[in-house]
Amino acid sequence: MLFTDTINQCAEVAGMLWQRGWAERNGGNLVVNITADVDDNIRRLPPLAAPVSIGATLEAIAGQYFYCKATSCRMRDLARKPMDNGVIIRIAPTGDAYEIIACKPLQPTSELPSHLAIHNYLAANRPEMKASLHTHPTELVALSHVEELCSTERMNETLWAMIPETRLFCPKGLGFLPYAEPGSQTLADGTLEQLHDHDAVMWEKHGIIAVGTDMMDAFDTIDILNKAAQIRCAIPHF
Ligand code: 2HA
Ligand code: ZN
């Protein structure tokens, strides 16, 4: 895909998140690796602001390019104007900082530590996976408030039992991560650990993050999991 097509797909997914009620205000974030598709015009772009330290050295994505939702921006606005509500960043050749190169000097997503740690892992281990998506799907978050479901095993058993497609399309299930502060390194580290065995991670009482070959693929994983959660929540006397 051309990087512009990739960004348009992010806009399409952002619109669906808003339509589903999973992206209130500035909720959720998305990051996609566009390195394979950036052209020379993008490569030549000068930085719009001083480099920002990542707080870690991410060697596998050194020199790579990402499109990210900007912090405080709304998914519903990104859906209409992806370049006014998202940024393209370039990771420094040393892997420990990034610079914003297009189109406005907006700050990237507040969950950047989690997303970049994930992309570093993916680039080294699963290079076909290019996208990460975090959102707040209502029924999945609801299930993370039910104490007896709060483990990877119990949550997957429950979701898989609801409708056969869940196991078919999410055979690895999701990893369950106990509550950690949004945007924190604890959240990033825990997420990364869970992604060794899963394509999605539930953040207790907060939301979910999924990876995919592209943004639509990551969205499909969350959509399938939330469908199962919706069915569970629809069972009377829950
Ligand atoms: O970007 O959802 O987790 C807003 C959030 C933070
Ligand atoms: Zn969130």
| 59 tagged catalytic | no
Does residue 114 contact residue 211 with C-beta atoms inside 8 Å? no
Pocket of ligand 1 (CB under 6 A): 26-29, 109-111, 134, 182
Predicted local distance difference test score (pLDDT) of residue 97: 96
Predicted local distance difference test score (pLDDT) of residue 80: 98
Distance between first and last Cα of the chain: 44
The pLDDT-based confidence of 201 (bands split at 50, 70, 90) is very high
Q: Specify the residue with its C-alpha closest to ligand 1, atom 3.
A: 182
pLDDT at 237 over 90: no
In whole angstroms, give the CA distance from residue 115 to residue 121: 10
Element (H, E) at 212: strand 207-212
Global pTM reads 0.97
Between the CA of 170 and the centroid of ligand 2 the distance, in Å, is 22
Between the CA of 178 and the centroid of ligand 1 the distance, in Å, is 16
* Residue from 111, 165, 193, 204 carrying the catalytic annotation: 111
Does residue 176 contact residue 99 with C-beta atoms inside 8 Å? no
Predicted local distance difference test score (pLDDT) of residue 162: 98
Q: Which residues of 79-92 are buried (b: 16+ CB within 10 A; e: fewer)?
A: beebeebbbbbbbb
Asked whether the CA dihedral 136, 139, 140, 145 is positive or negative, the reply is positive
Predicted local distance difference test score (pLDDT) of residue 231: 98
Residue from 66, 74, 82, 79 nearest 27 by CA: 74
Cβ count within 10 A of residue 37 = 17
User: Please, what is the angle between helix 112-125 and helix 185-194, to 10°?
Assistant: 30
In whole angstroms, give the CA distance from residue 202 to residue 200: 7
For residue 114, the ligand closest to its alpha carbon is: 1
DSSP 8-state class, residue 216: H
The pLDDT-based confidence of 169 (bands split at 50, 70, 90) is very high
28 phi-psi bin (left φ>0, alpha ψ -120 to 50, beta other): left
Predicted local distance difference test score (pLDDT) of residue 1: 75
The pLDDT-based confidence of 153 (bands split at 50, 70, 90) is very high
In whole angstroms, give the CA distance from residue 215 to residue 133: 7
186: tokens are 């604890």
What is the position in ligand 1's atom list of the atom closest to the CA of 135? 2
Predicted local distance difference test score (pLDDT) of residue 220: 98
Q: Which fold has domain 1-135?
A: L-fuculose-1-phosphate Aldolase (3.40.225)
Mean pLDDT of 137-152: 98
53-84 pLDDT, tens digit per residue, is: 999 999 999 999 999 999 999 999 999 999 99
Q: Measure Cα distances from 123 to 120, 160, 190, 221 in Å.
A: 5, 29, 18, 20
Does residue 35 contact residue 119 with C-beta atoms inside 8 Å? no
Mean pLDDT of 221-227: 98
Mean pLDDT of 139-162: 98
Instruction: Choose the residue to mutate in 25, 134, 141, 186 for probing ligand 1, maximizing ligand atoms within 8 Å of C-beta.
Output: 134
Do domains 1-135 and 137-238 share one topology? The answer is: yes
pLDDT at 156 over 80: yes
Between the CA of 96 and the centroid of ligand 1 the distance, in Å, is 23
In whole angstroms, give the CA distance from residue 150 to residue 126: 28
The pLDDT-based confidence of 137 (bands split at 50, 70, 90) is very high
87-131 pLDDT, tens digit per residue, is: 999 999 999 999 999 989 999 988 888 899 999 999 999 999 999
Out of 3.40.47.10, 3.90.1150.10, 3.30.499.10, 3.40.225.10, select the CATH number for domain 137-238.
3.40.225.10
1-47 pLDDT, tens digit per residue, is: 788 999 999 999 999 999 999 999 999 999 999 999 999 999 999 99
Predicted local distance difference test score (pLDDT) of residue 204: 98
Domain ranges of the chain: 1-135, 137-238
Pairing of strands 200-203, 174-177: parallel
